[in-house]
Amino acid sequence: MSKSKPLLKHQASIVSRIGIALGIIVTLALGTMIISYWLSDRADSDALAINVAGSLRMQTYKVVLLSEQPGSEAFIVAQEKLTQSWQHPVFSHMKTADPELNLQFVKARQNWLQLAQNLPLLTPAERFTQAQRQVDDIEVLVSTIQRDAERKVRLLRIVQIFALFTTVFLAAVVLHWLRNRVEQPLSELTRAAHRIGQGDFTCRVEPQEQDELGVLAQTLNKMSDAIASMYGTLQKRVDAQTHALQISNTKLQFLYDMVRDLTVETVDRARLDTIVQQLQQVVAVQDIELCLLTERGSRPYLQILPDASHQECSRNSCDDCTSASESGQFDDNGWVYRFQVQRESQHHGVLVVRTCNTDKLSDWQLQLFRSVAGHIAIALSLKQEQEQSRRLVLMQERTVIARELHDSLAQALSYLKIQVTRLNKAIELNKPELLQDITAELKQGLDNAYRQLRELLTTFRLKVDGGGIEVALQQAVVVLAEQSGMRFRLDYQLANIPLSPQEEIHLLQIVREACQNAVHHSRGSEVLVRLTQLDDKWVELCVEDNGVGIPDKAEKLNHYGLAIMQERSRQLQGELRVERRETGGTGVYFRFYPEYLAQKVPA
């Protein structure tokens, strides 16, 4: 602003020019009006003067005719009226008017005054001659007055025509000046503003003069340069931000794919090799090496190299890499970074990154390498935990198998061993009746052992797939219905209650065992299996048949099956009841409290 003020002091202002032009036009109009008013004012009494001067001719003839009776009253009145006409005020301005008109008026009046004095002394013929001469002078006076009036009218017309043409000329000059100095610069400024509004900051406006429009053109040019500079800066910042967003998007996509693959797929050499190759493309660093070590190992058991041309590390110990920091070290070939593949206190290896120049890795690259090393460590830790869990599950399954064999088949074999001992003693004593009883018991024991073996095989093969316990129960009752010919109905009402895998397995086995008992011992035609949740949140299993009912000493009838169900009920910390129904048949009732409800809510 301080630089533009001195410029405005020395420039020709458009406003001042327009004001001058308007002032000239207004002055011309006022001058024309004043002159016209003055001329019209002077010509205003010309018609009266001609009328009064014209009446002087008639009055002169009348006075001359009445002069024959000089004492008559009519002569006196006519003479006074003629004298008053010569003294009329309209003739007073002739003294300052045209000299010719003034001279002619003075001459005509002097001639009349002289005629009036000599009138009594003249003869009638002389009076008429003098009167005719006086009338001629008056006629000349009237003609002179008329010419003077016509001259004023012509002058008024000339003034008006001059004013008209002058005004038109000035208007044309002003319009031409406005078009060249105002309209065209304004049009250029408008076009420049429109182009700037469309984003074209290269347009320029050449100022024609140092006036307001010139200053506006210079200011517009400076503003366009400033906006172009700001736009270029903003464009660079936008490009930088876009590049950063693209890098972040690529980095996030890589991390997402890596985490998904490490979570879904097995962590093996092929998967880790693929991750390293993708990491090379994302960070634009080719020399990336991944070394995996055991917890106490000093040499890597798996080493993923950048390409086939690289040789495996020849160091005897990896302590230098595992103990190095992530800040980076510079050697002859470039910077070397070592990112520890570590989760909490468990160390899995190291991720080595080497640059081929003196430029250090950027912050986002360092962050990405740390994330990759951390995720690989998590995946390897999870893999080890899963393997440990599988070992524990396998050991638990073996424990369960051992318990089941001990509680069932081992007891049956012990019973058979006792019967064999009895058989040997009976043979030694030669007691045929005792041999027959022992043989029958051996046969029944072998049948029970074989049945228990089949039950164990069925139990060990039992599984609950992705469809859940409801689908497994439906499949079980369908198989039992086909094998037995009985009708099985399933009433499942636990759709909104989550059960743990252990609870599902035990429930399925209890249902199967109760249904097997109903098939083998009930002699009925229908079995109902119902699973519901009671008002007190306990889950209840009911297996009811319409058979003959359970005998009083049921443990002797199917000691193994009842023992299995009791054992499984104790595993779920539930209550199992087997009783005769009042309407007929047997009912197996089992209730337990779900594990997810028994868990305490953290404070």
Q: Which two tokens stand for residue 439?
A: 């043989």
Compute the residue count for the chain. Answer: 603
pLDDT tens digits, 247-303: 888 888 888 888 887 777 777 888 888 888 888 888 888 888 888 888 777 778 788
Q: Which CATH number fits domain 263-382: 3.30.2130.10, 3.40.47.10, 3.30.450.40, 2.60.120.10?
A: 3.30.450.40
- Nearest-5° angle of CA 188, CA 193, CA 195? 95
* Residue 381 pLDDT: 84
Q: Check pLDDT > 70 for residue 388.
A: yes
| CA–CA distance, 518 with 302 (Å, rounded to integer) | 59
Question: What global pTM score does this model have?
Answer: 0.47
Any idea which architecture 464-603 has in CATH?
Answer: 2-Layer Sandwich (3.30)
Contact in structure between 255 and 371 (CB atoms under 8 Å): yes
Give the burial class of 588: count Cβ atoms within 10 A of its Cβ; 0-12 exposed, 13-18 middle, 19 or more buried.
buried
Higher pLDDT, 258 or 93: 258
Using a CB cutoff of 8 Å and minimum separation of 24, what contacts does 462-469 make?
Answer: 462/505, 462/508, 462/509, 462/512, 464/501, 464/504, 464/505, 464/508, 468/504, 469/494, 469/499, 469/504, 469/507, 469/508
- Which of 253, 354, 369 shows the shortest CA–CA distance to 307? 354
Domain 12-188 has CATH 1.20.120: yes
pLDDT tens digits, 109-167: 787 777 777 777 777 777 778 778 878 877 887 787 777 777 878 888 888 888 888 88
| CA–CA distance, 426 with 420 (Å, rounded to integer) | 10
pLDDT tens digits, 311-346: 566 555 676 677 777 677 877 677 888 888 888 878
pLDDT tens digits, 404-437: 666 566 777 777 788 788 778 878 877 777 777 7
| CA–CA distance, 325 with 330 (Å, rounded to integer) | 13
B/e letters for 307-331, b = 16+ CB within 10 Å, e = fewer, are eeeeeeeeeeebeebbebeeebeee
- High-pLDDT (> 70) share of the chain, %: 84
Residue showing tokens 């010719």: 100
Mean pLDDT computed over 106-110: 79
Neighbours of 14 (CB within 10 A): 18
Q: Which two tokens stand for residue 567?
A: 């054992």
Domain spans of the chain?
A: 12-188, 263-382, 464-603
Neighbours of 200 (CB within 10 A): 12
| CA–CA distance, 240 with 234 (Å, rounded to integer) | 10
pLDDT tens digits, 449-464: 776 676 666 656 555 5
pLDDT tens digits, 480-537: 888 788 999 999 998 777 888 788 888 888 898 888 888 888 888 999 999 998 888 8
